[in-house]
């Protein structure tokens, strides 16, 4: 059974710091992996999607990497800002035959001014 | 586009009552998902539809839960009878054609916050 783990559960950093969020999954046979952002009281917004054949994806100050063989992904946030404060979730999709996403519990990030 | 629209946003109900949550997906999207989020279990898929047909309902916790999609622009998730352990945030999400092939992204609504007392 695929399990997705995110460590740490919470992280607090000063503004301007570069940071890395971690995601690990137990079964390397995935179709793709996505990172989402969730603001308090809101739904999820997709940030980056990495197909299983890719190693990384970038969007602005965000960079997500994928190492399928080791079952790990990281989300790198450069020059963090208070507006980056949110919960970040990773999710894996097992195959193209299913629309189901399996989510980690998330990392709650606080960026202090 | 207005995005995925869910109603009600908040509901407090008594144990044993019927609860109906509603969702309007983004126009043109042919995949619709119902997820549940709790502190203990995180986000879990309950059921998803493709072209109004249920594809995977293995996440529906028990017979008290049912979901329907009578047309492309409307879906309901019903809990009858409700129990305190059903208290959670219920998210509806939709995806466009090609989601399965190209991995197009998924768009979430803002959720329905359910409290059963």
At A37-72, the pLDDT tens digits run: 999 999 999 999 999 999 999 999 999 999 999 999
Identify the CA nearest to B46 among candidates B29, B69, B27, B28.
B69
Identify the CA nearest to B7 among candidates B62, B72, B67, B75.
B75
Q: Is A32 on the interface with B (CB under 8 A)?
A: yes
Question: Among all residues of chain B, which has the CA nearest to that of A35?
Answer: B105
Q: Is A99 on the interface with B (CB under 8 A)?
A: yes
Question: Among all residues of chain B, which has the CA nearest to that of A52?
Answer: B103
CB-CB neighbours of B2 under 10 Å: 7
DSSP of A63-109, one letter per residue?
Answer: EEEEETTTTEEEEEE-S--GGG-EEEEEEEE--TT---EEE---EEE
Task: Name the residue facing B48 among A32, A100, A102 (closest C-beta).
Answer: A100
Q: What is the pLDDT of residue A19?
A: 96
pLDDT surpassing 70 at residue B99: no
Q: Is B71 on the interface with A (CB under 8 A)?
A: no
Torsional class of B41: left (φ above 0), alpha (ψ -120 to 50), beta (otherwise)? alpha
Q: List, in sequence order, every residue forming a beta bridge with A49; answer none if it has no partner.
A: A34
Break chain B down into helix, strand, coil percent, rounded to 5.
5, 55, 40
pLDDT surpassing 80 at residue B97: no
The phi, psi pair for B101, rounded to 5°, reads -90, -50
Q: List, in sequence order, every residue forming a beta bridge with B24; answer none if it has no partner.
A: B5
Identify the H or E element spanning B103: none
The verdict on whether omega for the bond into residue B81 sits within 30 degrees of 0, i.e. cis, is yes
pLDDT surpassing 60 at residue B100: no
Q: What is the pLDDT of residue B38?
A: 95
Q: What is the pLDDT of residue B104?
A: 64
How does DSSP classify residue B25? P
Task: Name the residue facing B110 among A43, A105, A106 (closest C-beta).
Answer: A43
Q: What is the pLDDT of residue B98?
A: 63
How does DSSP classify residue B100? H
């Amino acid at each position: 059974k695929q399990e997705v783990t995110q460590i740490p559960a919470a992280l607090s950093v000063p503004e301007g710091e570069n940071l890395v969020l971690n995601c690990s999954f137990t079964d390397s046979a995935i179709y793709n992996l996505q990172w989402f952002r969730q603001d308090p009281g809101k739904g999820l917004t997709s940030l980056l999607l990495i197909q299983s054949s890719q190693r990384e994806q970038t969007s602005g100050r965000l960079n997500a990497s994928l190492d399928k063989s080791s079952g790990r992904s990281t989300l790198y946030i450069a020059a963090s800002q208070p507006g980056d404060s949110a919960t970040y979730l990773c999710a894996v999709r097992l195959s193209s035959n299913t629309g189901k996403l399996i989510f980690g519990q998330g990392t709650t990030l606080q960026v202090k001014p | 586009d207005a995005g995925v629209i869910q109603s009600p946003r908040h509901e407090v109900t008594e144990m044993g009552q019927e609860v109906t949550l509603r969702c309007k997906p983004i126009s043109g999207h042919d995949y619709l998902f119902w997820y549940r989020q709790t502190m203990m279990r995180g986000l879990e898929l309950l059921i998803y539809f493709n072209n109004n047909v249920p594809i995977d309902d293995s996440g529906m916790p028990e017979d008290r839960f049912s979901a329907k999609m009578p047309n492309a622009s409307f879906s309901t998730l019903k809990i009858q009878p409700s129990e305190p352990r059903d208290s959670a945030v219920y998210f509806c999400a939709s995806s466009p054609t090609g989601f399965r092939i190209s991995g197009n992204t998924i768009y979430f609504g803002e959720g329905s916050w359910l409290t059963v007392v």
